[in-house]
Amino acid sequence: MLSYRHVFHAGNHADVLKHCVLLAVLDYLNQKDKPYWIIDTHAGAGGYVLTAGRSKTHAEWQDGIGRLWQRDDLPPLIARYVAAVRADNPEGKLRRYPGSPLFALRTMRPADRMRLFELHPADVKLLAQNIAAATPDARKRVQIRQEDGFAALKTLLPPPPRRGLVLIDPSYEDKRDYARVVAAVKEGLQRFATGTFMVWYPLLQKNECLTLAGKLKKLAPDWLHATLTIKAPSSEGLGMHGSAIFLINPPWTLAAQLKETLPWLADVLAVEKLGAGGTAPWAVEISGS
């Protein structure tokens, strides 16, 4: 939806989970010399100023990256993520937060390519500015299209090197996004069966959310599902109480990394104590387990 702007939520607990996993996947892809593509269906503005405008007003980052910024006991996966955020804040004070495109751009290698979709007219302009400012060869390595990423994804699959990551993280402000995610992954796998597909979604007391992972599990034999919960679900069923990542064809090393990391992260980012009433602060599930 064009009313949604990720600037409201930049650097929050959901971004922490999403970007930790994103970096882990890209680091894994970098272990082989063969190039790959990154395709982001909902790229946003690419980067965000936390100390002004809407990010400052909402300040969700304070309970996300803000809780990690000064700590010296970070697990390896979190330390990797915080170091990547520090690249946007060389003076040492947390003022800017990179979106998924900037995390990816700074991790990919010269031969790798990125394709970004963003429909919002203001954000697509900011995205182009942020990408151009981040790399001198942006036009060679990155292409940006102001299109519906769900509809346009199929035009890029399979990518020429037959290696790649497809990141799908719409706003879900429109409940039809849940069905569109499933359809996009299903069609994407038909064209690019060996690709890694990474879906982010919010944890909400809504049927579309509660059934999404089950539908995705049916699409491929190799998957990973991770959740991070920061508070108990509302008794009224309103508001996001956590977020989740679902990967198809995940790195084989990722489950162990997350099982090591998420207990620590859940404890640090929790806004209330969990465990009672059947609410688990974190979970990692893999196919075949």
Helix (H) / strand (E) element for 38: namely: strand 37-40
Alpha helices by DSSP H, listed for 87-174, are 100-105, 121-134, 138-141, 149-152
Q: How far apart are CA 99 and CA 85, in angstroms?
A: 10
| Burial class for 282, CB neighbours closer than 10 Å (0-12, 13-18, 19+) | buried
User: How many residues belong to the chain?
Assistant: 289
Q: How far apart are CA 248 and CA 225, in angstroms?
A: 9
Q: What is the CA radius of gyration of the chain?
A: 18
Catalogue the active-site residues.
169
Q: How far apart are CA 82 and CA 87, in angstroms?
A: 9
Q: b or e along 106-144 (b: 16 or more beta carbons within 10 Å of the residue's beta carbon)?
A: ebbeeebbbbbbbbbeebbebbbebbeebbeebeebbeb
- Strand pairing class (96-98; 47-49): antiparallel
Q: How far apart are CA 39 and CA 198, in angstroms?
A: 10
